[in-house]
Homo-oligomer: A and B are copies of this chain.
């Protein structure tokens, strides 16, 4: 039996009580919003068949999938030749299962397996951990939660509008006031490529302009040229990096520029329709302004995202007053389940980056005190007699729904107070001989140090009103 110091795998984390409670606060806000919009929860197993995952994330992705070793004598189905062919070949012989890499492929797999029972449009959300054998670094973990919502089986742009609303509502409810929901459309990007004389090259163009934030216009220019985009095309492209004006003015400018490209037309029409939906819904994303005076929803033609996947609107969210990358993103895709032989299922989805949202809320000090649930009051005991006296009080407090503890031993007062302190219990109830005689108990507010002498019923009223 090993007696060495135990540790946890690189890139994984324990979440202690204080952190779990805060994370659950974020999950709670997200879930309630999803459900208000008709999305319902789905949970899939941590392990998927390796064959379900392989080939869905590109070669690099395949390398980052955690494979689970077959149980029992896994070598029994291998030959010497299998082993000679090396790790990559051998993997398929000794591993049939793997850990979930994202929530999208399991969702597609679920839809295909349950196509006959599902009523479309199917709106599901899923909040579960995923695992990636990435090199761990600051902010990048090998186990982390994804938090996805998708609707499949409809082309209605109401879904896009509602995604904007859900993002807006979640972030507002979490107390954020300075964020931008960027929106763009794959058709607009294709239209731009065509309009500048590089039809069909939107892939290369997007990879380059996606880096605008990081490497600036000069860097992007260099990369575009390296990727074989002609210099005159690059010249035509650059003015688009900072289109000026309101969203409607930008749409009008794009109309002039892309009006005679088919893809461009499609994109602009879709975007216009999303705006109409939001306008009709009276969405805050259009009417509430950031401190900079801009509405929260912003058309941004330099927004690119993973183009291979998306076919319509794309989204990304930036918190302007925090030092953090995108905290949410998504888009429309045409063919989610094609990978499993079920074509024609289009949909639109997005996800929240919960680790990043957590860090933003910490940075901006937006976690409410109420997100720090836990024991509300600790009864301190001095001896067997005060313990006996305290037990019915403890029961009364709990019957009133107040999370309460009685320190389980007559330990030194300092130790009991230290326990309350470390567990951030806001109130301590002292039951000594004087208190037992009078029935008036000492209630100490651990933050202010103030002490009141009160009957138990008054204590209960006070603690219950505190909770509201």
A positions within 8 Å CB-CB of B? 1-9, 12-17, 20-21, 24, 35-38, 40-49, 51-52, 54-56, 63-64, 66-69, 71-76, 83, 86-88, 90-91, 94-97, 99, 109-110, 112-114, 119-121, 123-124, 129, 131, 133, 142-143, 151, 154-156, 158-159, 277, 280-283, 339-341, 373-375, 387-388, 391-392, 394-395, 398, 401-406, 408-409, 418-419, 422-423
Number of identical monomers bound together in the oligomeric complex: 2
Q: Cβ of A282 and Cβ of B392 under 8 Å apart?
A: yes
A414 to B63, CA, bound (A): 48
Q: Residue on B with the closest CB to A129? A: B46
**Which listed residue (B114, B159, B404) contacts A36, Cβ 8 A?**
B404
In whole Å, how far is A78's beta carbon from the nearest beta carbon of chain B?
9
Give the top 8 A-B pairs by smallest Cβ distance, nearest first: A17-B40, A156-B408, A12-B45, A38-B405, A119-B422, A71-B133, A3-B341, A280-B391
Taking a contact as CB atoms under 8 Å apart, the answer to whether B87 and A76 are in contact is yes
CB-based contact A75/B90 at 8 Å: yes
Partner of A69, one of B45, B69, B129, B405: B69
B38 touches A403 (CB 8 A): yes
Q: A3-B339, A277-B391 are in contact. List 16 more A-B contacts (CB 8 A).
A: A1-B55, A3-B341, A14-B42, A17-B41, A17-B42, A24-B41, A36-B401, A36-B403, A37-B405, A38-B374, A40-B375, A67-B68, A75-B87, A119-B418, A154-B408, A281-B391
- The CB with the most chain B CB atoms within 10 A, among A8, A86, A155, is that of A8
Known A7-B49, A8-B48; contact A41-B21, beta-carbon cutoff 8 A? yes
| Chain A interface helix/strand/loop/mixed | mixed
- Contact A71–B66 (Cβ < 8 Å): yes
Listed A/B pairs (11) with beta-carbon separation below 8 Å: A9-B96, A14-B45, A14-B110, A21-B41, A37-B398, A38-B403, A38-B405, A66-B68, A67-B69, A68-B68, A280-B391
A177 to chain B, nearest CB (A): 19
Report how far A245 CA is from B166 CA in the complex, Å.
61
CA distance A279 to B62 in the complex (A): 60
Given contacts A2-B54, A124-B17, contact A71 B63 (CB under 8 A): yes
Contact partners of A119 in chain B: CB under 8 A: 418-419, 422-423
Select A113's contact among B3, B6, B68, beta carbons within 8 Å: B6
CA distance A21 to B15 in the complex (A): 24
Judge whether B280 and A388 touch: CB under 8 Å.
Answer: yes
User: Is there an interface contact between A49 and B8, defined as CB atoms closer than 8 Å?
Assistant: yes
- Cα A45 to Cα B373 in complex, Å, equals 23
Using known A-B contacts A2-B54, A42-B16, determine if residue A69 contacts B71 with beta carbons closer than 8 Å: no
Taking a contact as CB atoms closer than 8 A, the residue among B6, B40, B66, B69 that contacts A52 in the complex is B6
Chain B residues, CB < 8 A from A392? 280-282
What residues of B have a CB within 8 angstroms of the CB of A388 in the complex?
280
**A9-B48 CB under 8 A given contacts A14-B42, A17-B40, A38-B404:** yes
Partner of A143 from B36, B47, B391, B404 at Cβ < 8 Å = B47
